[in-house]
A and B are shown apart, each in its own frame.
Chain A
Amino acid sequence: MNKKANIMDIVLTPTFVTIVALGIVLLTLINAIYGITSSLEFERRFYAVDTALLLESLMALPKEANVAIDYSWPINFGLNITAHKVRVYGGGEKEFEYTVDPLYAVLYKDFKPSKENSELTFYKTGNIIGIERKKDLPDISGYYCERQTMPKLNAVIDYHATIETTPTTIMTGDATISAQLNPTGDKLVKIYINPTPQSEQLACLMAQTFKRETGLQTAIIPVNTNFLAVGDPRLTLSTTQPALFVLAQGLPDNAATKATIYRSITQGVTLYGLE
């Protein structure tokens, strides 16, 4: 009887315990291996870091470059862009941070996990960095404007002026701005300037507001007034002070259009700064 008990004690019990222990070990390992291979943690981390670095890369481009980059996005992940932070979520979440150049505005976005987000486009247009679904990508032709410290304008805006099909003076003083509507030709806003840094800056800010207000293409054109014919309305640019002549063409001759043109011009001036 004692002998049997000894065999139970010495052989069977340890064997049983060992088998159970090995079973637990094996199951834990298999579970861990499965967890690693099926884990989306690495992918979430990768996409968070990659997105943040892509945003920073767009801010490292030459200022005049407008760029759109298509990006295949995993549909089971959401993407949230806020100040300094990229968050990738869906079954867990990972974050990575990015440094902002105050000259750029990063448009904050939140894309929830969805099939519609399989193709995202990162873009830079002027001073704006954004992300949008490829199908919703806005027109990315825009002007980058430096925010340089320039003296504010000691000028007067004529608030009673209206844009007409003949040249109208809108601002006088340190800077001169005239404008004209031409209902014929391609839809385009031409901003003629005399070649001074202040005129360039003012025209740039105006081009941005035109883009925002009307969505129209704009062109900043420096003019050498020595080559203009007598009677050319752009002769108002023959001054050493900042001077602009805005020609909005291809737009309907109605009150709403005139008001929009006027608003875009005055907003550009306000952005530049009046004394």
Chain B
Amino acid sequence: MAWNKKATWTWADTLYWFFYIPMTAAVILTLVIIPGRMIGTKVQPVTMDAAIFEERVVQHLKEYSPVTGSSDNMMTTNKSMQFSLSQKKFGYKITKDGKEYYGNQKFYDIARPLAPVKYHRFQSTKTYENGKTVTIDQVYPKLYAKLT
């Protein structure tokens, strides 16, 4: 009987130190960390970012005169398709006149086959009034890695 009583207390102590206390700590940490993380991940405007970049490319390629302004024709002269990229994780491929222009090509090549499972992919084609077309293919991570 005495042995049984001692064994019961041993179990109770074990449970107390190795189960209840770690579990309490885990619950507290969860309650403290999760809301903060949720707030942090709310500001991830990937879709808006992609839409803005797409419009930038479309405008970038429009024929322009300082006298008459922009027209809805794609400019016929060669124009640089290089944007000055930051460390923001995204990549693109722009196809114009049969030529391909890449931004962050390394990231694009890795991410494109993994979309839409691991990455977001946004594709669009714009046809200008002079019949020329541009295809914009972008890939973004689900969450911005560099968002500090």
Contacts and interface: CB of A to CB of B under 8 A. Distances in A.
Nearest to A14: B16
Nearest to A62: B70
B39 interface: yes
Q: Is the interface of A mostly helix, strand, loop or mixed?
A: mixed
Interface string A187-210: 000000101010011011001000
B69 A62 contact: yes
B48 interface: yes
B69 A149 contact: no
Interface residues of B, number: 40
Interface string B90-131: 000000000000000000000000000000000000000000
B69 A85 contact: no
Q: Is the interface of B mostly helix, strand, loop or mixed?
A: mixed
Query: Size band of the A side of the interface?
Result: 35 or more
B4 interface: no
B1 interface: no
B83 A102 contact: yes
Contacts of B45: 49, 53
Interface stretch (A140-148, A154-162, A163-171, A236-244): A140-148
19 contacts: A42-B42, A53-B52, A56-B56, A62-B59, A64-B69, A84-B84, A84-B86, A94-B148, A97-B86, A97-B146, A98-B86, A99-B84, A99-B85, A100-B83, A102-B80, A201-B66, A203-B66, A204-B66, A220-B66
